[in-house]
Structure 1
């Protein structure tokens, strides 16, 4: 089969999944239906998925009235799709792209309702372009996975990093397995609604920007970032801090841990000794870890840190840890 049937004429259709159409190269008028019917095709469609279409190259729409109710669009494993001309998707809330050309990101525009964007295995993506970001006015969740050439999150059209890029209403940011990401943007702290930041398997990331992280960040999860040398200082409202397999990290920073911290999990940080002499853990006169970590402390495979936290023996146990309700310290 080299073309799709006129499914746009199914006026009550709400969920459509197109998979394994290996010979289809173009999706256009034949998909929407002939004549007047094509103008308002797919009037009830809410979920649309295209998957495993290795020869698909072009997707065009005729009018802005198509897909008026579409809420979720998924495009997976369509590596040759480079020509997309969708005029407007006013109701789209979720966009999920996997193993596609980065051109798809530039082509899908005018997304005033988009709240969730997942970008997975887009090999040629180096950063989000300004012409795409300007439409992300409602974005709340942004996820990057396995984007090997991603070096920055966003820049302007002049290839200059912007202080402000993503909308301030962004709440969740995940950056996973982006092997060439070297730094986070200086404007990261402008994301004033950001609550959850996860960075995993980014081996070239060395440090956080001097401007720090957003002031209202609640959860910071850093894993397998072996070049990372330090944590941000302004984590004043953090409730959960997770650090796993960061071999270059030697301390938690020169400032105090936040009094709001409820859970601290540290594992596989072979050189972590905890903190420098300015931190609260060595200064008993300052706020103690007992008050900071109200519920949980987990430490795994951190030999230098373990010695200082040994039950009833280590200096940190005697000063700060004994009264924490849930403590796990393991080899």
Structure 2
């Protein structure tokens, strides 16, 4: 937390850069001292504006004459005096900046409306605007008039119910409101119900649209967004209708949007993430029937989806993330032979019965498996090896018994292996040097069944070893009869060795024996 500015700051009359100006209640500089700093430029953030006594003091700051000021942030904290809407509006009125301003941020403003200068068309250089936590505002300023505006973020307007005509131009006839806007964000608008779209020609250029935490928003999204590349809608459970027509969209993320009608998506879609949806298998298949370019698919808590999609998706999908889905027919995952990254997080998901065949995915580079209770074995598949696999993480798979090396498991390029809370796992693979010849990082946490490292030793390229909460494994290190198996002195690349002790393994017992391991 920045301290308030000391008194007398205004005497530094040649000061050109002052990034943060913090106002206080009593002993520090007042806002009128800014008026003496006539050469300020670049970025300036003024916080503590709730302490400004009156509009006259704000006027003395003379921001309107700061021709070199490019970025301005105006921040109100929580007021001790209750409703200060009129006072804050009068103060903000007098904090009007020079027309050269490019970026404006207003946070915590308590007025019910904005002064006329916010959104005035004469601010033709403004490219970025953020309005945050203006909880008493009942309408938005006419921001559509800002001809150069590229980035607009609006959040925390808990008193706003409708975004209407005033948003586009305050009654002025504009052929092209928001003619330069590229990124538009609405967040945490708890009472927002309706977004009135002024014209099909509004928002001709946006590439990103993000709407989140707007639980009462029911209608309506813009109909046409021809240049949109990324659309994110989260926690808008009342939002109905259809998605905008966006033929260029590459990334779509929908979370908790149960009322939206999901039609077939554009063929150029590359990333799709769906969470908390009531869609079923046929709806998902219909959505994806044209998506021949899809690279990444994420399904989270989609409880009515019983099967992975077949149509088009497996052809080139590179990343698949599944969390908490009641998938019953999971054999279709074997069709996804182009996968490079796979993450499965439990719920009712059971990955391919008891065995996960790494060799079925020749291009796989990264695998994370969490909370999959039926998983018992990690193995190869028909003699095939996952030649590209670099990272393997297995957590909370309580029935995992072993790595099957009898079917020829060999992961030649694996550099990182993470095992956590696999309580039934009894041992690491024998011949670990040949199974994981490139392993550099080994992490084992809370795997109480693992008693020792393989008798043939650890992979010679190991750089980091981390062991935590695995008493038997640590016990084998402490035991004079078993400690030679570790042979840490034979690991020339080892730079990091760490362990977490349980109550059974006292520090004064471990340290002398640890030193012997490196002899």
Same topology, TM > 0.5: yes
Coordinate RMSD, CA, aligned = 3.1
Partner residue of 2:316 out of 193, 198, 215:
193
CA contact (8 A) 2:386 2:411 kept: no
Report the Cα distance in structure 1 between the residues aligned to 2:299 and 2:262, rounded to whole angstroms: 19
Q: Any unmatched runs of 5+ in structure 1?
A: none
Partner residue of 2:212 out of 76, 101, 108:
76
Change (3 A) 1:306 1:165: farther
Number of the residue aligned with 1:117 = 252
Report the Cα distance in structure 1 between the residues aligned to 2:243 and 2:325, rounded to whole angstroms: 31
- 1:41 to partner: Cα distance: 0.5
Report the Cα distance in structure 2 between the residues aligned to 1:298 and 1:48, rounded to whole angstroms: 40
11-20 or 204-213: which moved more?
Answer: 204-213
- 1:67 to partner: Cα distance: 0.8
Number of the residue aligned with 1:301 = 421
Change (3 A) 1:199 1:257: farther
> Residues 43-69 of structure 1: CA distance to partner in whole angstroms, max 9, x if unpaired?
111121222222222223233321112
1:1-331 alignment, distance < 5 Å? 1-33=137-169, 37-101=173-237, 103-104=239-240, 106-122=241-257, 124=258, 129-131=261-263, 133-134=264-265, 136-145=266-275, 147=276, 149-152=277-280, 155=283, 161-162=285-286, 164-165=288-289, 167-176=291-300, 178=301, 180-187=303-310, 190-200=313-323, 202=324, 204-210=326-332, 212-225=334-347, 227-230=349-352, 231=356, 234-252=360-378, 255=381, 256-274=384-402, 281-283=405-407, 286=408, 288-291=409-412, 293-307=413-427, 309=428, 315=430, 317=432, 320-321=435-436, 323-326=437-440, 328=442, 330=444, 331=447
CA contact (8 A) 2:308 2:329 kept: no
> Residues 88-136 of structure 1: CA distance to partner in whole angstroms, max 9, x if unpaired?
11111221212113645x43321112122222333x36xx8552x33x3
Report the Cα distance in structure 1 between the residues aligned to 2:208 and 2:227, rounded to whole angstroms: 9
Report the Cα distance in structure 2 between the residues aligned to 1:181 and 1:306, rounded to whole angstroms: 36
Q: Any unmatched runs of 5+ in structure 2?
A: 1-136, 448-519
- 1:31 to partner: Cα distance: 1.6
Change (3 A) 1:14 1:190: closer
User: Which has the greater radius of gyration?
Assistant: 2
Report the Cα distance in structure 2 between the residues aligned to 1:49 and 1:119, rounded to whole angstroms: 15
Secondary structure at the counterpart of residue 274 of structure 2? strand
Report the Cα distance in structure 1 between the residues aligned to 2:242 and 2:288, rounded to whole angstroms: 22
Matched residues, number: 303
Report the Cα distance in structure 1 between the residues aligned to 2:304 and 2:441, rounded to whole angstroms: 34
- 1:220 to partner: Cα distance: 0.8
Report the Cα distance in structure 2 between the residues aligned to 1:49 and 1:31, rounded to whole angstroms: 14
- 1:254 to partner: Cα distance: 7.5
Change (3 A) 1:250 1:203: farther
Secondary structure at the counterpart of residue 30 of structure 1? helix
